[in-house]
Amino acid sequence: MEVTVAVAATVGSPFAPHDGADRHDLVDSGSVRVTGYPVGGGWVGETLTEEGGPAAVVLLMAEPALPDQSVRARAVALVHALVDGQPRTEVLCVPAHDPNFAALTDAGALRAWHADEAALSAVLHRLDPAHRWRVADCEDAAAAEAFLAEARHCYERLTGCLE
């Protein structure tokens, strides 16, 4: 399932393959990798979640996106987080046809990209520093796609824009 992500902000991340095959240099600051692919924060339009807004997205990209840029993407994982103690769901996506992310197909592959719960929490905090983030769990791509489909269906029911 492909979606269009409206990017609101972009930050740096430690996310990249562990084997260095992508030519990103490994630079460590203590135990934290400080170079990797950029991550955008944004949403999928024409969706409505239980949280009352559009489906929130974390988008791993090869190049940073400017705010208000749209990117065709595919879901890789469903991220369950606590933001200031309140539950929040984010969909982790990658550009739909970018060969850099061909092997990144589900939540299980995230660890090989240095994208464990602690690293995801840190990146989400960089995108939204006014709040405390703690990633509790990641589900697979099928769960992310089901979440997006339900959010689309909720939007269509609310607006009467049924396809």
How many other CB atoms are found less than 10 A from the CB of residue 160? 6
Count of structural domains within the chain: 1
pLDDT interval class at 161 (50, 70, 90):
confident
Q: What is the mean pLDDT of residues 110-136?
A: 92
**pLDDT digits over 11-31, tens only?**
988 888 765 555 544 444 444
Determine the 3-state secondary structure of 111 from DSSP. Answer: helix
Which residues, in sequence order, are bridge partners of residue 79? 90, 138
pLDDT at site 22:
53
Give the CATH number of the domain where residue 45 resides.
3.90.80.10
Which residues, in sequence order, are bridge partners of residue 71? 5
Q: What is the mean pLDDT of residues 47-58?
A: 94
Q: What is the mean pLDDT of residues 57-78?
A: 94
Cβ atoms of 77 and 110 closer than 8 Å: yes
pLDDT at site 34:
53
Residue span of the structural domain in which 79 resides: 2-159
Least confident of 41-45, 114-118, 124-128: 114-118
Non-local CB neighbours of 71 within 8 Å, separated by 6+ positions: 4, 5, 7, 40, 59, 61, 65, 95
